[in-house]
Amino acid sequence: MNDWILVPVLMICALFFSVSCKKNPEEESGNNYRIEGPENFQVENTEKDEEGHQRMLNLLAGIRDLTSKNNQYLGDGRARQARELLANATPQTPVKENWFHHRILGWAELNLGNEIEGIKHLKLAYDLLPEVKDSIEEKRVMENIFMLGVAWMRRGETENCCARFTPESCIIPIRGGGLHTKEEGSRNAIRYFEEILKKAPAKSVWHYRARWLLNIAWMTLGQYPGSISKDYLIPEDSFRSNYQFPVLHNIASDLGIDTFNLSGGVVIDDFNNDDYLDIFTTSWASDANPKLFISREDGSFTESQVPTHLEGIYGGLNVEPADYNNDGNLDLFVLRGAWLAAAGGYPNSLLRNNGNGTFTDVSFNLGLANIHRPTQTAGWADFDNDGDLDLFVGNETTPGNKAPCQLFRNDGEKGFVDVALSAGVTNDRFTKGVSWGDYDNDRYPDLYVSNFRSENRLYHNNGDGTFTDLAPTLKVTDPSSSFPAWFWDYDNDGNLDIFVSSYSGNIEHVAAHRLNEDADFETLCLYRGDGNGNFINVANDAGLQDPVLPMGSNFGDINNDGYLDFYLGTGDPGFGSLMPNLMYLNVGGSKFVDVTMASRLGHLQKGHAVSFADLDNDGDLDLFEQLGGAYPGDAFRDALFENPGFKNHSITVKLVGKETNRSAIGARIKATFNEGGKARSVYRHVSSGGSFGANPMRQTIGTGSAEKIQSLEIFWPVTGATQKFTEIECDQSIEIVEGSNTYRPLDLTPRPFLKKNSG
């Protein structure tokens, strides 16, 4: 029995009910629709609330003030030290020592955004190479030349893609408005990359790195492929998709939501309870406030004009949404301290949505901020099925800094209690991805934990407050360099599968792979589940064999065919890690094809949080990407790619829990319809996000050419009950409250995007 709606017979007899709904449920019921769950309400801050909020503001202000000293990415300690050493140099200082300090200072200045100074010192180090090359490793010589080329490359990006931004900026293959009008950066970069290619052995790491960036640099000048030597060319076919796909245009600048920032998180959902989707973003910079963009009737977005109480809530590499107190207002959990090891002992923030446009940090008052550990991932789920949401926080254990993960049980007004130790889920590893899902259909959510450079965990929920790691038994421990991970049903068989990507494969691997040459990298894993607790890795059969290096990622049905596609935001903190973010299309639940180039979604800047959401209410999913690197000098503008439509149909389903948590996290949807004379079903499960980026809780379900759903079934995990509705027209949004005998059509009209700058 593989179908998730099959629960023990006695439970079905006691709890199952089915209701047939007509096109107009209000007329059939004979009265107006009324929510039977808890009503939305506003919260007034108590004195204790204000004290807790201020306590967090004070702590975050202190972290901001110490950033320069303590943060290896955002601070300037390395630059200050190198400047001092060079200032104190004398004629007797060894040349090798001066070379070393110029190289270090050059790179440090680039990281800080001081590109001219960075280039100056890297050039001074380069000029000293003839004197020191015999006393240093060959790779240091290549590294020096490469760093100088990369520094000029970034200068070109700053003068063009940042200062003269167009929607085509940094989209590979680079053309049109993405071409650089100020050419100095790219032309100087070309000089140094060609020097490496003349010196480096063929098929070496330095050869592939320089070759890849050389081709990109010529692209920025509009002189690819004609100006590139045949020996160094990456063929044009490497920058084409073999699968036809429409172009998605970046309209974020038109809408004024293209925040220029560093890496961070995004949540797209309804924060003011008007049923329209809003946008919440964070940046991990220690002096950056969150941004809340509210949807407006004219198709625009505006940063919230009321005092949101978010001023001073600095930082946040990731953010996870959930209505933790079941009051009908969506709350947010902001995560901090990732990658910083012992120096990353930062507090996380639970931001309570007060229902009046303001947020209050209740972390200290609810027991979530007493222990500070470096983290960037978390996930909400009701692991004990008591009707409220619990929270797993994935912390980063590194050599010399043990940081166990935390499982916070929600005890309502008493706050949260860490039960990770007794539950057996401390996972003392470098945690980078978290996903909850009931893979064996026993109504209790299980937990998949992705660990970087150590085995992954699959914690089976025993239903008694404890978990057992079955990953080795079920053979789902790979890949070893794991990062993003999620539960999903990619093949629509009703059983949850596991996606887990490897943080492996940089530009040298991309270049070699596109040249059909050997490249040593770890591929991602796609574990297909059978619903009985077993998995098999089908990544190769599904066509997922490319080098990817994702932090940000998410999934959604981009073409409304009923099958879930996915997008990867790629790149590491290094400035030279310019590789396209990747879009994969799910073809019939059996394979995935790369449509990055055809769709124009191959952004070269560092991709972080990703969200699929129907922001203009036209029935298809748009794609938002929070862009930006880890260093102050590597910021970029966020992107919103508008879905052009695929002439397929869809239905959007918003679930409201009553016995189950209000967010309906853990609930499952089964939509059955007739397409082309054949019956088919599409499955969705409600979750809160994962590594970076969170989709709306509401589910937009593509139905292909089908205009009507014959059967819509909602499975609620707390009670084990299933609601069933029949004969529902597609191309609308509906709300279903747990236990209600009808559904409510949401009064949502399309809001075509107001493109102010493009007319």
Instruction: Give the residue carrying structure tokens 């009265």.
Output: 31
DSSP 3-state helix, strand, coil percentages of the chain (rounded to 5)? 25, 30, 50
* pLDDT at residue 37, as a whole number: 40
Q: Which of 580, 585, 592 is nearest to 556 (CA)?
A: 585
Buried b (16+ CB within 10 A) or exposed e, 272-287: beeebbbbbbbbbbbe
CA distance linking residue 172 with residue 704, whole number of Å? 30
Q: What is the C-alpha separation between 405 and 551, in angstroms, rounded?
A: 19
pLDDT in tens, 308-354: 899 999 999 999 999 999 999 999 999 999 999 999 999 999 999 99
Q: Are 320 and 694 in contact (CB under 8 A)?
A: yes
d(CA 695, CA 689): 7
Half-sphere exposure of 671 (CA within 13 A, CB side): 29
Does residue 578 contact residue 600 with C-beta atoms inside 8 Å?
Answer: no
Ranges of the chain with pLDDT below 50: 1-38, 758-759
Q: Cα–chain-centroid distance for residue 388?
A: 25
pLDDT at 9 (0 to 100): 32
User: Distance (Å, rounded) from C-alpha 400 to C-alpha 58?
Assistant: 28
For residue 159, the 8-state DSSP code is I
Extract the tokens encoding 439: 């893979």
From its phi and psi, is residue 488 left (phi > 0), alpha (psi between -120 and 50) or beta? beta
The reported pLDDT for the residue numbered 32 is: 29
Burial 734-747 (b: 16+ CB within 10 A, else e): bbbbbbbebbbbbe
Beta strands in 631-691 (DSSP E): 636-637, 639-642, 649-656, 668-675, 678-685
The residue type of 308 is T
Report pLDDT digits (tens) over 25-81.
333 332 223 333 445 678 889 999 999 999 999 999 999 999 998 899 999 999 999
Residue 184 has, within 13 A of its CA and on its CB side, a CA count of: 6
Q: Name residue 680's amino acid.
A: R
Three-state secondary structure of 409-465: EECHHHCEEECHHHHCCCCCCEEEEEEEECCCCCCCCEEEEEEECCCCEEEEECCCC
Cis previous bond, 8, omega within 30: no
Q: Which two tokens stand for residue 120?
A: 């100056």
- Asked if 728 and 742 touch (Cβ cutoff 8 Å), the reply is no
Task: Please give the pLDDT value at position 690.
Answer: 65
Measured between alpha carbons, how far is residue 224 from residues 167, 227, 232, 234, 410 in Å? 20, 6, 11, 10, 57
Q: ∠684-686-690 over CA atoms, to 5°? A: 110
* Beta strands in 164-282, from DSSP E residues, in sequence order: 249-250, 260-261, 266-269, 278-281
* Cα–Cα dist 97/87, whole Å: 13
Q: At what angle do helices 138-157 and 115-127 cross, to 10 degrees?
A: 150
- Which pLDDT belongs to residue 40? 62
* Token code pair at residue 299: 């198709």
Report d(CA 471, CA 500) in Å as an integer.
13
The two three-digit tokens of residue 685, written as one number: 């499960």
Sign of the Cα torsion 134, 139, 142, 147 reads negative
| 3-class state of residue 538 by DSSP | coil
Locate 235 and state its tokens: 């063929």
Q: What is the pTM of this model?
A: 0.94
- Nearest CA to 264 among 494, 74, 124? 74
DSSP 659: S
Is the distance from CB of 740 to CB of 734 less than 8 angstroms?
A: no
